[in-house]
Structure 1
Amino acid sequence: MSGSSAAIRTSSKREALLDAAEALFARQGYRAVGIDTVLARAGVAKMTLYKHFASKEELIAAVLERRADAVAATLAERIAAAPGHPRERLLAVFDWLEEAVRSPGFHGCLFIKAASEYPAPDDLPRQAALAFKEGCRQLLEGLSRDVGAGDPQGLARQLQLLLEGTLVMAFLQRNPRAASDARQAAMALLEAAETTP
């Protein structure tokens, strides 16, 4: 077997672990899912798991990092495809959010769940969650700056509150209007930011 085909098999086993872990963690939480359950779903041996990840927490952090990359790529596409005015690019984030929370696969925010189940500052899952949320804040700040907001940092914080609140309310209440309400609130914030000297 060539080195490249061995690397492909190794990579596919790693992806199978990440796929299985993400699906289980999304539905059941992190601490409720044991390693043996992940292994059974992925169809790999325990030795394979520890070849790729030193601990369950490292596996969780890798799941979160992969999800963060996927969300960032999707958001970048949505923002780039938004028409015209910078306001539309910012509102594209809320359009994406509405699709995300209405999806049958939405079982709450993996990042919020990670931070709540791993509260210590040095916990790898918490660090991965915080890194993603900080990336979201930075994205919103850049979009707020593009809109011409007088206080892009302040507007970004307000918009992030809307995003995070939507994720929580859509999960807790199964409220289908949460994201559209958040988009309307975002539009009001944008209008206020654009008219403030």
Structure 2
Amino acid sequence: MGRTRPGDARAKVLKAASTLFYRDGIHAVGVDTVVAEAGVTKAALYGNFGSKTRLVVAYLRERDRLWQEEIDRITAGHADPRERVLAVFDAYEAWLARDDYRGCAFLNAASEFPDADGPVREVVRHHKTALHSYLRAQFERGGRDHAETLADEVMLLLEGAAVTAVVARNGRSFRTAKRLAESLTA
């Protein structure tokens, strides 16, 4: 087997970690499993990430980037701010359909890392705050009063639907939450 170039090793480790962490849980997956799945050495993992925690942070940042792309793709076809907000429910359901859904990767990570001030929780907070800010901005663009409160309420609907979808193993909760959001934002 040929040597893996440093950039390739980073991408391979991140891809393997992303699959394994999401599927099996972060603490259940050791670095030995990640390097075996990636086909690289421990030195390559540590050389690129420094620690398992920094690998987890990179995994979550990449997941956040992909999620932002998904939101942008699905909401781009809607000029109306309210429709953009409602399309976020469609983005969640689309994510569920193609990703062997095991819940929100960020909430899953938060449950595994109890240190509220740690780097993992910081990335989780960033992700959730960014989504809340997006929702609030849409409500503000639409001239809605109480944009902050509406964003809070829609976030609760989204998060509740995400958790319910794990248990129910279907996307019905997102459709139900979307109907509630339609009423809430009418």
Distance in 1 between the 2:99 and 2:82 partners? 29
Distance 1:176 1:75, change over 3 A: closer
TM-score using structure 1 length: 0.88
Which structure 2 residues correspond to residues 91-110 of structure 1 after superposition, within 5 A? 91-110=86-105
Q: Which runs of 5+ in 2 are unaligned?
A: none
Q: Which runs of 5+ in 1 are unaligned?
A: 1-5, 192-197
Which structure 2 residues correspond to residues 109-188 of structure 1 after superposition, within 5 A? 109-188=104-183
Greater Rg, structure 1 or structure 2?
A: 1
Of the candidates 51, 54, 70, which is equivalent to residue 74 of structure 1? Answer: 70
TM superposition shift of 1:88: 1.4
TM superposition shift of 1:9: 2.8
How many pairs does the alignment contain?
184
Distance in 2 between the 1:80 and 1:159 partners? 19
Equivalence for 2:22: 26
Tell me which moved more, 20-29 or 168-177: 168-177
Q: 1:29-71 CA deviation, whole Å, 9 max, x = no partner?
A: 1111111000100001000011111211110000000110111
TM-score using structure 2 length: 0.93
Q: Does 1:60 align with 2:56?
A: yes
Q: Does 1:12 align with 2:34?
A: no
Percent same amino acid among aligned pairs? Answer: 37
TM superposition shift of 1:104: 4.9
TM superposition shift of 1:86: 2.2
Distance in 1 between the 2:97 and 2:180 partners? 18
